[in-house]
């Protein structure tokens, strides 16, 4: 009964370093999403994948890349981290055709120094 | 541009009181209006949601009121409890896959 699993939970990077945030869901959902959460700004969509093999930009895609590795996994990559990318990152998934409910992971807290 | 405006930013309510959080949107094409609840250190979880063809939806102590003409919807928490202390986000659905979230309301219910 894992739901949406994100790794790592915490990460500290230096400016310019790269890293990949991993996300996996075991609910056989077609759609997956990456959000960032910043104080006073709510949740903002970075990228989403409507189904396996497709990805699309959200509200704030600059500085990020994504890969929908298979139906279960959707990763978010920071190629050259910047302090402005310090945030809490959430992965979410939903069933295609019934996209009403988003299931969120527990988040990754990222600090870029 | 901020497509969903949520207020207040924070709210303190006595136990047993009513908590009210408001959201206003701009685009009439939005077709689904959920509220998410988030506890510290956790991801948001769906609390209750409404479609624009109804004006109110109630689930237990939680009620959504929806005013299509005013482009506003609100969350009412009746008989608020300390366990309701959390951050609440309204959201709107834009197209099939995109959800736009409000900026959040931090609710504290005093025992």
The Cα A29–Cα A83 span in angstroms is 33
Calculate mean pLDDT across residues A63-91. Answer: 96
Q: Half-sphere exposure of residue B79, counting CA atoms within 13 Å on the CB side?
A: 3
Calculate mean pLDDT across residues A22-49. Answer: 93
The Cα B21–Cα B15 span in angstroms is 16
pLDDT at A99: 53
When pLDDT is cut at 50, 70 and 90, the band that residue A25 belongs to is very high
Give the minimum alpha-carbon distance from B2 to chain A in angstroms, rounded to a whole number: 10
Are A36 and A88 in contact by the 8 Å Cβ rule? The answer is yes
For chain A, list the strands marked E by DSSP.
4-7, 10-13, 19-25, 31-38, 42-49, 56-57, 64-68, 74-78, 87-95, 98-104, 108-112
Lowest mean pLDDT among A25-29, A49-53, A66-70: A49-53
When pLDDT is cut at 50, 70 and 90, the band that residue A28 belongs to is very high
pLDDT at B105: 97
Check pLDDT > 70 for residue A97: no
Closest by CA to A110, choosing from A52, A37, A29, A5, is: A37
pLDDT at B2: 65
A4 chain-B contacts, CB cut-off 8 A: 43
pLDDT at A77: 97
pLDDT per residue as tens digits for the range B24-78: 998 878 889 999 999 999 999 999 999 888 999 999 999 999 999 999 999 999 9
% pLDDT > 90, chain A: 81
A57 chain-B contacts, CB cut-off 8 A: none
Q: Which residue has the higher pLDDT, B99 or A15?
A: A15
φ/ψ of B83, rounded to 5, equals -65, -10
A36 part of contact set with chain B, CB < 8 Å: no
Check pLDDT > 60 for residue B93: yes
Name the residue in chain B with its Cα closest to that of A41. B103
User: What integer best gives the mean pLDDT of chain B?
Assistant: 93
The Cα B18–Cα B78 span in angstroms is 5
pLDDT at B19: 98
Q: Which residue has the higher pLDDT, B96 or B15?
A: B15
B residues 4-23 lying closer than 8 A (beta carbon) to A: 4, 6, 9
Q: Which residue has the higher pLDDT, A36 or B96?
A: A36
Question: Best of A42, A58, A88 to disrupt the B interface by mutation (most B CBs within 10 Å)?
Answer: A42
pLDDT at A45: 93
Burial label for A15, CB within 10 Å (0-12, 13-18, 19+), is exposed
Are B18 and B85 in contact by the 8 Å Cβ rule? The answer is no
Q: Which of B32, B44, B102 sits opposite A104 (nearest CB)?
A: B44
| Cα torsion through B62, B67, B72, B76, rounded to 10 | -20
User: What integer best gives the mean pLDDT of chain A?
Assistant: 93
pLDDT at B55: 94
């Amino acid at each position: 009964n894992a739901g949406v699993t994100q790794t790592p939970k915490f990460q500290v990077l230096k400016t310019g370093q790269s890293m990949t945030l991993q996300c996996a869901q075991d609910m056989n959902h077609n759609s997956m999403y990456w959000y960032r959460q910043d104080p006073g700004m709510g949740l903002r969509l970075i990228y989403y994948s409507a189904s396996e093999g497709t990805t699309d930009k959200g509200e704030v895609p600059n500085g990020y890349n994504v890969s929908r590795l298979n139906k279960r996994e959707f990763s978010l990559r920071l190629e050259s981290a910047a302090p402005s990318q310090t945030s809490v990152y959430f992965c979410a998934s939903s069933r295609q055709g019934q996209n009403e409910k988003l299931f969120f992971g527990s988040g990754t807290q990222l600090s870029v120094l | 541009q901020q497509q969903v405006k949520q207020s207040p930013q924070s709210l303190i309510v006595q136990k047993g009181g009513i908590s009210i959080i408001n959201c206003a949107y701009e685009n009439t094409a939005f077709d689904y209006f959920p509220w998410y609840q988030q506890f510290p250190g956790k991801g948001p979880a769906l609390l209750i949601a409404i479609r624009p063809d109804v004006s109110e939806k109630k689930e237990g102590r939680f009620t959504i009121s929806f005013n299509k003409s005013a482009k506003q919807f609100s969350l009412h928490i009746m008989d608020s409890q300390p366990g309701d202390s959390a951050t609440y986000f309204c959201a709107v659905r834009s197209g099939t896959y995109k959800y736009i979230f409000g900026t959040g309301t931090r609710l504290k219910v005093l025992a």
